[in-house]
Amino acid sequence: MIDQKNEYSIKEAFIFSQRMALLSKALWKSVEKDWQHWIKPFDLNINEHHILWIAHHLKGVSISEIAKYGVMHVSTAFNFSKKLEERGLLVFSKKEDDKRNTYVEITPKGEETFIQIMETFDPNTNAVFKGALAIHDFYGKFPDAMEIITILRQIYGKDFIDTFEKSFEHIDQEFTEIENKVAKK
């Protein structure tokens, strides 16, 4: 039976939702393994690396913005940011005109660590990248994930996706490739 307001059935909605759930879980498991392997030499976990990523791209970012763009709870963003501060990778502050929010900024040591992590990326150890090579070989480009980006824009908003895309624009502007490795310009 088709819903009178919509052109889909409950069965279609169910199958789509479950397909997304199961595919996302399988993809995340591989992404998580790749990501952990990449950052392991730096003694960081995924949340800590993601916070460094956000702090690098959004200079002087609030804890609530880290939570928003890092897709994590505010307490998670705060606790992992605190661990990064203890290691000298971030510094906490309050703004004179905004005492309610806590802000973090990446330190020179944090920048150095962030750059070192970027420069150690090895696509040969990344299962998700290698899985996408068949698409690249056939179409001459990697998947752009526009359908997924559209879904996430509807869930998290335009600002979330714009900030996400800007971080990759920054990477494109700040880094180059030297001898088959990512390197700071």
Strand partners, 104: 61, 92
Map residue 58 onto helix, strand or coil. coil
Residue 134 has pLDDT above 80, yes or no: yes
Distance CA 90, CA 87 (A): 8
Return the CATH number at 109: 1.10.10.10
User: Bigger pLDDT: 1 or 168?
Assistant: 168
Map residue 102 onto helix, strand or coil. strand
- 115 domain-assigned: yes
Residue 2 has pLDDT above 70, yes or no: no
Query: How many alpha carbons fall within 13 Å on the CB side of residue 51?
Result: 34
pLDDT grade for 4, boundaries at 50, 70 and 90: low
- 1 domain-assigned: no
Distance CA 76, CA 63 (A): 10
Domain interval for residue 170: 13-184
Residues 6+ away with beta carbon under 8 Å from 115: 184
In contact, 53 and 117? CB cutoff 8 Å? no
pLDDT tens digit string along 115-132? 999 999 999 999 999 999
- 3 domain-assigned: no
- What is the number of domains present in the chain? 1
- 8 domain-assigned: no
69 closest CA partner among 53, 80, 82: 53
In the chain, the DSSP E strands lie at: 61-62, 90-95, 98-106, 175-178, 181-184
- 129 domain-assigned: yes
pLDDT tens digit string along 39-97? 999 999 999 999 999 999 998 999 999 999 999 999 999 999 999 999 999 999 988 88
In contact, 89 and 110? CB cutoff 8 Å? yes
Edge-to-edge strands of the sheet including 90-95? 61-62, 98-106, 90-95
